[in-house]
Amino acid sequence: MTMAATMRTGSVVPRSKGSNNYRGKPTESGVRVRPGKIPGSGARLRSVKTPGSGVRLRPGKALLWLFALLVGLGFVILLSLALLFGFRWLTTNSFFSLSEIEITGNSRLSTEELVALAGVDLGMNTLEMRIRDVEDRVVANPWTDQVAVRRVLPGKLSIAVTERIPAYWLRTGKGLFYTEADGSVIDAVSPGRFVSFPLLEVGADAGLDELALRMADFDEAGLPVRAGQAAWIRLLGERLEMYFEERDLWLSVSAKEWKRNMECLSLVWGDLERRGEAGGAREIRIFGGKVWVRT
């Protein structure tokens, strides 16, 4: 009776010497179970320890993990040192010394100027050069439109440039400048790089948006003179004026109905040539399809 009552109430009974009584924790059913055994089976429970759960690893496994970590770290260090020393050897080896610099595509910029712009010299290591930096230095020049730099191992550097093509002089408040056919400013006119071009003057109420197209139309009109032969070209609001010094000829063409006016200019010039009067023409004005000629 006493033991049964004790098992139901869950009180702890001290284990006496020579008896089979034991201390344990009561289960939900009130039956005490010896730690490590499953009730009614006689099988012993075994705890599983996992890394990161706060349970200590066995000494053998801990040493194995530490050894693998040290081996991996040592391999990474050795590989990094090998790559570093290998790159250092390549960039100091005379086999890759620059022995030839090839420049193509230049006409206004000299070979010496381009080599100086590139910032390279014979004897430099070709592997140590940064191609992008060389291209950036060359294309920074106002006369350079595009540049392509190619490294040809073991000791050659190829630099291909595309230069900007001047078509006019443009007078501004800051001086006289070379411009492209569309009016884009290239660089200031200087004695060291002096080439004569038509002087372009742009009025306050005029723009350069259609300059290149209008000059192309003029060159296709079949006249004995071309736009590039003019002494000066003026864009003044709604008209275009050109003066050809060699022929002492002044042209003034309205920008309104431009195509029609250019057709009229072509017909009138053809008629003057048939009558033998083209050489004596000094002034031609065309507005709204009407032509005035002064000889």
Please check whether residue 59 lies inside any domain of the structure.
no
Same structural domain for residues 227 and 144?
Answer: no
Domain end among 163, 181, 206: 163
Same domain, 189 and 278: yes
Q: Are residues 156 and 173 in the same domain?
A: no
**pLDDT value at position 28?**
47
pLDDT at residue 92 in the model: 65
Domain's final residue, options 163, 186, 205: 163
SS3 content of the chain, % helix, strand, coil (to 5): 35, 25, 40
Contact between 68 and 46 under an 8 Å Cβ cutoff? The reply is: no
Same domain, 151 and 263: no
Residue 216 in tokens = 């192309």
H or E element at residue 176: strand 175-179
Strands in 199-287 per DSSP E:
199-202, 232-236, 239-244, 249-254, 283-287
- Mark which of 138, 163, 188 sits at the end of a domain: 163
What span, in angstroms and rounded, lies between the C-alpha atoms of 136 and 16? Answer: 95
- Does 199 lie in the same domain as 139? no
Based on the domain organization, do 216 and 279 belong to the same domain? yes
Structure token pair of residue 273: 């040539």
Percent of the chain with pLDDT over 70: 76
- DSSP codes, 10-72: T---PPPTTS-----EE-TTS-EE-TTB-TTT-PBP-----TTTTPPPPHHHHHHHHHHHHHH
* DSSP designation for 82: H
Q: Are residues 208 and 156 in the same domain?
A: no
Domain of 243 in residue numbering reads as 168-294
Comparing C-alpha atoms, which of 31, 52, 49 is closest to residue 40? 31
Two structure tokens written together for 172: 């501004």
Q: What is the mean pLDDT of each run of 10 residues along the chain (295 residues)?
A: 40 44 48 49 50 58 79 81 64 81 94 95 90 96 96 94 96 91 93 90 82 91 91 90 94 92 92 91 91 92
Taken in order 270, 272, 278, 283, is the CA torsion positive or negative? negative
Residue 217: what are its φ and ψ, rounded to 5°? Answer: -65, -40
For Cα atoms 82, 85, 91, give the angle at the middle one, nearest 5 degrees.
135
Residue pLDDT, tens place only, 2-32: 444 333 444 444 444 444 444 444 544 444 4
Residue 62 placed within a domain? no
In a domain, 88, yes or no: no
Task: Measure the CA–CA gap between 216 and 239, rounded to whole angstroms.
Answer: 16
- pLDDT for 6: 38
Q: Identify whether the C-beta of residue 3 lies closer than 8 Å to the C-beta of residue 31.
A: no
Confirm whether 104 is domain-assigned: yes
200 and 136, same domain (yes or no):
no
Asked if residue 295 lies in contact with residue 282, where contact means CB atoms within 8 angstroms, the answer is yes
Query: Cis link prior to 154 (omega < 30° from 0)?
Result: yes
Is 110 within a domain? Answer: yes
Strands 144-152 and 290-294, by their bridges, are: unpaired
CATH classification of the domain holding 110: 3.10.20.310
- Contacts of residue 17, defined as CB under 8 A and 6 or more positions apart, other chains included, come to none
Number of domains in the chain: 2
